A and B are shown apart, each in its own frame.
Chain A
Amino acid sequence: MTQPPINLRLAELAFKKVTGNLTDEESIELEHILEISPDKRALFEELMNPDRNAEDLVSMSGSNVEASWDKVKASVPFTPKKRGSGYFIAAASVILVIGSIVVYLLWNEKNKPAIVQNANKSSTIHPVIIDSVAKIVGGDGTEIVVGRNQLGIVAYIDDKPVLMKDHTLIIPDIETRGPVIKALPGKELQVQLTDGTRVWLSGSSVLDFQEGFTTVKRTLALKGEAYFEVAKGADAHFAVNARGMKATALGTMFTISAYDKGAVITSLFEGKLNLSGGEKDMLLSKNEEAVWNNNKFLRRSLPKTSTDKMNGKINGYFLFDDKIKTILDEVAKNYSCEIVYKGDFSDKEYYGKFPRNMPIDSLLRKLSTSMVVDLALQGNKIIADFTKFK
């Protein structure tokens, strides 16, 4: 008897399509197969249709499996299962343990002490924890730690006050060879500059006012990652130097990620941005991203998740919607940690929202549970072990 050829390749391509791993070439190949085989196209479209998928899965959940099994049991004789004395010992142990817990809980309930009034007790005082978020390091090396919940003057730069208001550090005009502001690991800091520009500085990142910063000379340097909302209306260009690359704008919204390792990535959400590095220049437009690596610029469209991530940064949360490795790399950068990977993780993706400024151990614990990966902190290293869940 003859059979039509089984199109295994179609099954493979359909699977890749379902799991989002279809390359451009494979997409063309798939389209070709579907073109020459209308019945396969019908099947393929049915499998890819989310409404049909949902309908079929709901219908499957409605099938009365137990009723069918009762009929099967009535019609087919099974080999009876032997239960040795071990079964009864195990069952007796379980009953004993459960019984003990119930008795203990009941006893505890009965013997709970009554609430004691504390009217005669002496009062105690605790210092306010300032929730340190950043360090201001002066040109002379003096360091001042500032806290998120401080209010009012937190330091002076050249006799001008630095204020903390509404969790934002407000920096005055800096006319001298200026100070450095370091966000502590895992702590995001919101900064307002003297020209009205607002900066959201990621954990372990540094803003360096080495050339001073005034309304007529708006230049600073960045190490790490920050989102800038540049104030409009000023005559002087706003410039950020980041690891050999310079971004210049008038009024715009952009993010620069310039950690010690890897490329410098500039994402532009509004306006235009002029980038220069080495002997290269690039004019970046809205919704574009530039990757600066090995003295070369690469232009690409802004990933779909960038705006959500930027909103997350402004509103104080991490928005993760990426491959697990990318997410863990971001966490490590924010908390100034190294990361060590064990096992295979390349294809896995994850979505999640977490408050920034969370202690790293809490964040790792939460990620570990939901990502199905063992995350442990050893000193300054995050160990991401994917082998334990295989």
Chain B
Amino acid sequence: MKETFNNDDELFKAIMKNDEQAIKKYHDDIYPALRGFAHKRVKDLEAATDIATDAFCDTLKSGYKFTDLNGITWYLYNNARFKCRDHNKKKVSPQDSPLDDEKFLVADAAQFENDVIWAEFRRITYEQIKGLPRDIDRDILMLALKGYKPVEIAKQIGTYDEYVRTRIKNLAKQIRNELIDKKIITVLILLLSQISSL
């Protein structure tokens, strides 16, 4: 039976109790965005896939006393950031001396902030699509995002193109409404304040 968590606080408390269901939920939510973040930095999808998983394992094993879910999220991105740096170091020729940690943090600060905003925007939007209650709605939206036209989607799922067109418009509005309700700006601001307290 799948457990549900009503809010981030409940999920955070369960994660801190090492609850497998809670950790899996958090992993499934953040992994695609984390992999996207790493891919942006290393330009190698296979490496990004490994970096995202390794960063997740490292964060769980860190023993760090997190105070909230944003703390864990920040730690994850930061861990992935250094893994990406290490991966890129291997590709640098010996005469280009790689930056030490301190210099890297300063030089990378603005880019890191941008990449986290980018990844979190994507994560929250993707979550809204995944969270649509009807399979058919998720299928329509994902096919539309892949560039299929309403007529093609209608053929594929066996319905009318007018229905598909109407659903796409409504789903886009629904997701927009939900983003407003969830106040994604609050999430981003909290996360950014974690970064600025470095």
Contacts and interface: CB of A to CB of B under 8 A. Distances in A.
A2 B188 contact: no
A40 B114 contact: yes
Main secondary structure of the interface of A (DSSP, over half): helix
A156 B17 CA distance: 82
Of A1, A15, A63, chain B has the most CB atoms within 10 Å of the CB of A63
A19 B179 contact: yes
A136 B31 CA distance: 66
A351 B176 CA distance: 13
Interface in A275-327: 321
B53 A3 contact: no
Contacts, number: 146
A347 B180 contact: yes
B40 to A, nearest CB: 10
Contact of A11 (B146, B147, B188, B198): B188
A59 interface: yes
Contacts of A71: 53, 57
Given A6-B192, A11-B189, A347 B177 contact: yes
Interface stretch (A49-57, A102-110, A332-340): A49-57
Interface in A51-108: 53-54, 56-61, 63-65, 68-69, 71-73, 75-76, 78-79, 81, 87, 90
B193 interface: yes
B53 A72 contact: yes
Contacts of B49: 63-64, 68
Of A42, A64, A87, chain B has the most CB atoms within 10 Å of the CB of A64
Contact of A58 (B28, B113, B114, B142): B142
Main secondary structure of the interface of B (DSSP, over half): helix
A8 B142 CA distance: 31
Given A6-B196, A54-B147, A352-B166, A75 B32 contact: no
Contact of A68 (B17, B31, B129): B31
Interface in B1-55: 1, 17-21, 23-24, 27-28, 31-33, 35-36, 39, 49, 52-53
Interface string A340-381: 000000011111110000000000000000101000000000
B129 to A, nearest CB: 7
Given A54-B147, A57-B126, A68 B110 contact: no
Interface residues of A, number: 53
B113 A6 contact: yes
Top 8 nearest A-B pairs by Cβ distance?
A60-B32, A78-B20, A351-B169, A54-B145, A15-B185, A63-B32, A79-B18, A68-B53
Interface of B: 1, 17-21, 23-24, 27-28, 31-33, 35-36, 39, 49, 52-53, 56-57, 60-61, 102, 105-106, 109-111, 113-114, 117-118, 121-123, 125-126, 129, 142, 145-147, 162, 166, 169-170, 173-174, 176-177, 179-180, 184-185, 188-189, 192-193, 195-196, 198
27 contacts: A3-B195, A3-B198, A4-B110, A6-B196, A11-B189, A12-B185, A12-B189, A18-B121, A18-B179, A39-B114, A42-B114, A43-B114, A46-B118, A57-B142, A60-B123, A61-B126, A68-B53, A68-B56, A69-B27, A69-B28, A78-B20, A347-B177, A349-B176, A349-B177, A350-B170, A352-B166, A353-B166
